[in-house]
Structure 1
Amino acid sequence: MSEEESARATLLPATGTEEASVHALPIALGKILLAVLPIAGIVIGTVYLGQCPRQPLLPPYLIVLGAVLLLLLLLSCAPCGDGSERPNACKRCFSASCLLFLSAWFIAGNVWVYSIYPPDYEQSGQGRFCQRTLFLFAFGITTAVHVAFAVALLLTFCILMGMILLKTALPYGGHGDRGGP
């Protein structure tokens, strides 16, 4: 065995070893937890289909959003080879297409959810009615995505500012050598 192969063997455990199964368990549990909200969206959208005359596209919004998210989650579980090669180009293209579609669908969902705020929850015969659970779930999911994006943007900004400040605060502009740039 060459030096490169032995170094690779120590970094990447062979499939079927105990160490590989220990790492697979948290990943599997995380994916199961990630699947809960899309499944709930599909169920709520299906159960309350046709129960929001104020915005009849809310149930399909939840159903399609949940289905595409589940599809992407399942696609992430598909094997990509032995780990030494890049993922299939077709798989990458399909994932990118799904993400592009999800972006457009999410923007449309924002219009559908926020344009009817607040709906009438009480009078089911009126045109302003929208079933409470359906609307609040769609509103909560949409708002939670906005909050997650804001937190990610804030963290990214803080990390970048920290890197800039650290680089300027270190002697020689953050370079490891004393000779300067």
Structure 2
Amino acid sequence: MENFLENLRSTSKPNTPTVVISKLIMMAIPIAEVVIGSMYLESCPVQKFIPIYLVVKGTFTVSLTLLSCLPCTQAPEDGSQTTLSSVWRSVSYIVFLFLFCWFIAGNVWIYANYGPNYDNPAAADYCHKTLYLFAFWVTTLFYIMFGVSFCSACCRGCCVAMKMSDDTSPRAQS
């Protein structure tokens, strides 16, 4: 078990281009949320908060991602904490908590109005098709990604546990 933990601690950090490219890819959906939410801000009478949800979620996510790139937000290599990195960590936790609560609210707004009227803009249950389906599928995609990540983590944990038990079994020691 100690060897496993030491290996986890000693893994190398990805190089700068890898980090930049991955953050740019991760920002594609939040930027699209801001754009689509802004374009259709007044186009969902069935639930006026759906476009607002997209704009706020996208804006906070992009801001958090960009701010995390600043050198002053990084912890020093020696593992100590500077005042600025401690403040950044506290602020990011608060923003993550807000985004979690905002995500739950967005789920209620989106899923409670599943299958709105896409055809009659004058109807009370109307929501622009592009806006609603984008919000629906971005939210659903999060659940799919969470499920895949959870299953992957469980499989990885099982593999590590089996390897650990093989390393400590009597036949492995002889």
TM-score, normalization by structure 1: 0.78
Give the distance between the partners of 1:174 and 1:112, measured in 2 at CA.
57
Give the distance between the partners of 1:57 and 1:68, measured in 2 at CA.
16
Give the distance between the partners of 1:26 and 1:91, measured in 2 at CA.
22
Partner of 1:77, secondary structure, is: coil
Deviation, 1:30, is: 1.7
Deviation, 1:163, is: 2.4
Deviation, 1:33, is: 1.6
Instruction: Report the RMSD for the aligned CA atoms in angstroms.
Output: 2.5
Deviation, 1:82, is: 5.6
- 1:119 to 2:116 alignment: yes
| Offset from partner CA, 1:96-150 (integer Å, 9 cap, x none) | 1111111111111111111111111001000010000100110011001001110
Give the distance between the partners of 2:149 and 2:56, measured in 1 at CA.
25
Structure 1 portions without partners, runs of 5+: 1-10, 12-21
Partner of residue 155, structure 2: 158
Cα distance, 1:129–1:161 mapped onto 2, change above 3 Å: same
Contact 2:110 2:132 in 1 (8 A): yes
Partner of 1:110, secondary structure, is: helix
Cα distance, 1:132–1:171 mapped onto 2, change above 3 Å: closer
Structure 2 portions without partners, runs of 5+: 1-9
Deviation, 1:164, is: 2.7
Amino acid at match of 1:61: Y
User: 5 Å matches for 1:126-165?
Assistant: 126-165=123-162
Amino acid at match of 1:108: A
- 1:95 to 2:53 alignment: no
> Identical aligned pairs, as a percentage?
33
Amino acid at match of 1:137: F
Give the distance between the partners of 1:163 and 1:32, measured in 2 at CA.
32
Give the distance between the partners of 2:145 and 2:171, measured in 1 at CA.
34
Contact 1:166 1:174 in 2 (8 A): no
| Larger radius of gyration between Structure 1 and Structure 2 | 1
Which of the residues 15, 21, 26 maps onto 1:34? Answer: 26
Count of aligned pairs between the two proteins = 158
After TM superposition, where is structure 1 displaced by more than 3 Å over at least 4 residues in a row? 81-87, 171-178
Deviation, 1:175, is: 10
- 1:173 to 2:173 alignment: no
Deviation, 1:177, is: 5.7
Cα distance, 1:129–1:174 mapped onto 2, change above 3 Å: farther
